[in-house]
Amino acid sequence: MSKVKFRHTTQTSRELRRIAEREAGRQARQKSIDAFWALTPEKRAQIMADNEAFKRINKNGITLEDLRNAEDQGRRDGYRIGKEETLIICYAAFILALHELHGFDSDKCREVLNLADEKVTYTLTSADAIREVYDEIGLTLNFGEDMPGERVQDKGD
């Protein structure tokens, strides 16, 4: 049987530097894109006319607006699908936990999840909900960073 080696949980200065470089590059690219879209339509058209990549894209009948609209639509669709998938798995997990821990039947599970859904839908902010959990029940919710242990703890822990 081979030994299992665990990687250090802390990052080396080299890794941190590379992360910082990637983030700086991403921010610079985003700043450049934002500056481009802040230009007047005439200036953007002139830049696109002078750029070989834009010439090749436009030759096929695709405009920069088409690309931007497709990117925005993809982002919206991805966000919606991700949100729905996350909620579905959370609701399923809550139902299974209620059933396993407390023997809840389908009626009780539906009642609890519908009330939870109402809280999610009509709570003003997540900070309000977290504060209410802390004040009324005495639990702390910790989702700030990847941490070992439980995300839900007594406020004394």
141, 152 in Cβ contact below 8 A? yes
Q: What angle do CA 40, 44, 45 make, to 5 degrees?
A: 115
Q: Report residue 8 as tokens.
A: 């250090």
Query: What does the pLDDT average to over 125-148?
Result: 79
pLDDT at 3 over 90: no
Handedness of CA 40, 46, 51, 53 (dihedral sign): positive
pLDDT value of residue 4: 45
- List of residues 6+ apart from 143 with CB closer than 8 A: 151
- The phi, psi pair for 139, rounded to 5°, reads -110, 145
Using a cut of 0.85, tell me whether the model's pTM lies above it.
Answer: no
151, 141 in Cβ contact below 8 A? yes
Q: What's the Cα-to-Cα distance from 91 to each of 47, 97, 119, rounded to whole Å?
A: 50, 10, 13
Separation CA 70–CA 93 (nearest Å): 34
Domain ranges of the chain: 14-62
pLDDT tens-digit readout, 40-82: 988 887 887 777 777 777 777 777 778 788 888 998 988 888 8
- The phi, psi pair for 6, rounded to 5°, reads -105, 140
pLDDT value of residue 157: 59
Q: Report residue 27 as tokens.
A: 């921010």
Q: Report residue 138 as tokens.
A: 């005495």
